[in-house]
Amino acid sequence: MRRNIVAGNWKMNTTVPEGVQLAKEVCEAVSAAQGLKCDVIVGVPFTHLTAVREVIDIEKVGLAAQNCADHVSGAYTGEVSAAMVASTGANYVILGHSERRGYYNETPEMLKTKVDLALENGLKVIFCCGESLEEREAGKVEDVIKAEISESLFHLTAEQWANIVIAYEPIWAIGTGKTATSDQAEEVHAFIRGLVAEKFGDEIAGDTTILYGGSCKPSNAAELFAKPDIDGGLIGGASLKAGDFMGIVTAF
Ligand code: PGA
C-alpha cells in the first residue's frame, strides 16, 4: 500500500530559532490532529537539522535535508555529505529540485551519485522532476520527465526503489502562484507511474508515492490530492506557516 505524504520544503528561509519554532508548531499540530491520512515531513536547511531533530517526534514528523553532496567526504569546502545529514537524525533528503538543477547546475549524473550516497546512508529520497514552460509548450513534458527519472534512478534495484518518493514539480508552477490544474498534474503523475511500472512492474509502481509540487496551498490541495495518482505534495511557500501547512496536511 502506498503512503500519502505532505512534505514541506522550507528552501532558504528561517533562522535556526525561527525554524525550531515552526517545526515545534508543526509537530504539535500533527500530534493533536486525529486520523491524519498522510505522513508529514519538514525539509529544512542543513544548519537547522540537529536543532529541529531535538524538538520533533520523528515518528510523527519526518525530517529532510534539501540536498547532499555527490562525494563521500574530503576536500569539498562548503559541502554537506549524506553521512553528515544522516548523523543529525534526519531520515529524508530532497534531491534534484529544479532550483538545484537550474541555479547550481546539478546534472542527472551528479544526482545519480547523490541518490546512491543518500540510500547507502539510510536516507529516503524525495526526488524532484519537472518541465519548464518552454518544454511544456514544445510538447516535451514526457521526454523531460522520462529522462530525469531514468537517468538518475533507473539503475536502482527494486529493493532500493522502496526508499524513493517522486515529486513532480512543473517549474512554471513553483513559487509563481500558477498551480497546474489537477487534470494537468494527474496526467503527468499517471505517466510517471507508468514509467515505474515498465521498469519495476505494476505492484511496485502501485506502491510508489508521487507528490505534486508547485503553488500547492490549502485552497487547492484537496482537489489535487483527490486524483488517483497524486499521493500528496511537496510544499514550498505554504510550508512556512504551520497553519497553512496543516491546511494542506488535512486536505486528504
Ligand atoms: P512552492 O514551491 O510551493 O512555493 O511553489 C514548491 C517547491 O519548490 O518545492
**235 within ligand 1 shell (Cβ under 6 A):** yes
Task: Give Cα separations from 168 to 60, 187, 237 (angstroms).
Answer: 24, 11, 16
Q: Is 169 a catalytic residue?
A: yes
**169 within ligand 1 shell (Cβ under 6 A):** yes
**Per-residue pLDDT tens digits of the chain, which is 252 residues long:** 899 999 999 999 999 999 999 999 999 999 999 999 999 999 999 999 999 999 999 999 999 999 999 999 999 999 999 999 999 999 999 999 999 999 999 999 999 999 999 999 999 999 999 999 999 999 999 999 999 999 999 999 999 999 999 999 999 999 888 888 999 999 999 999 999 999 999 999 999 999 999 999 999 999 999 999 999 999 999 999 999 999 999 999
**43 within ligand 1 shell (Cβ under 6 A):** no
DSSP-assigned beta bridge partners for residue 167: 128, 211
Query: What pLDDT was estimated at residue 32?
Result: 97
Q: Give distance in angstroms: CA of 75 to centre of ligand 1.
A: 32
Residue nearest (by alpha carbon) to ligand 1 atom 3: 236
All 3 cell numbers of residue 187?
496526467
Choosing from 48, 97, 106, 131, which is the catalytic residue? 97
d(CA 167, CA 95): 10
- Contacts for 4 with CB less than 8 Å, ≥ 6 apart: 37, 38, 39, 209, 225, 231, 232, 252
